[in-house]
Amino acid sequence: MKSLKLYLFLALIIPTLPEYQSKFASMTYSPPPPTNPVMKYVFYQNYPNPFNPSTRIKFSIPQTDSHLPGGARGQLVTLKVYDVLGNEVATLVNEELAAGKYEVEFDAIDLSSGIYFYIIKAGSFVQTKKMVLIK
């Protein structure tokens, strides 16, 4: 299982895959129903918080005019985790994503207890939230 996670961490993830895994995270994608498209960015607080050793982060990406391979509309999304000193400790998402709802599970098994910040950037949308890891 570790070799599979390492391979997926190093590989480029195809945005049309419904799920992927990396060293720190696995992500699930829910496409919006055609009758109820995602209309705005939403970035939720992680749950549970405080957490040990993993937590879930949810966000929604609206439909844009940018076209992805296959005709889907989406944009480049990055979701990164930083420690209190501003050092990047994990990149959970760094790819073009289609419109929809996403849930990322962040595994902090190798990190020490403390306060961490997670930042999402998608187009002109940027937002930061705080989470607490207790071991």
- DSSP three-state, residue 11: coil
Alpha-carbon gap, residue 49 to 68, rounded angstroms: 34
Look at residue 64 in the predicted model and tell me its pLDDT.
74
Element (H, E) at 72: none
- DSSP three-state, residue 10: helix
- Could you list the pLDDT tens digit for every one of the 135 residues in the chain? 333 333 333 333 333 333 444 566 677 777 666 667 778 899 999 999 999 999 999 999 987 766 555 555 668 999 999 999 999 999 999 998 888 899 999 999 999 999 999 999 998 899 999 999 998
Range 2-133: architecture per CATH: Sandwich (2.60)
pTM for the predicted model, two decimal places: 0.74
Q: Where are the domains of the chain?
A: 2-133
Phi, psi at residue 7, to the nearest 5°?
Answer: -60, -45
- Helix, strand, coil shares of the chain as percentages rounded to 5? 10, 50, 40
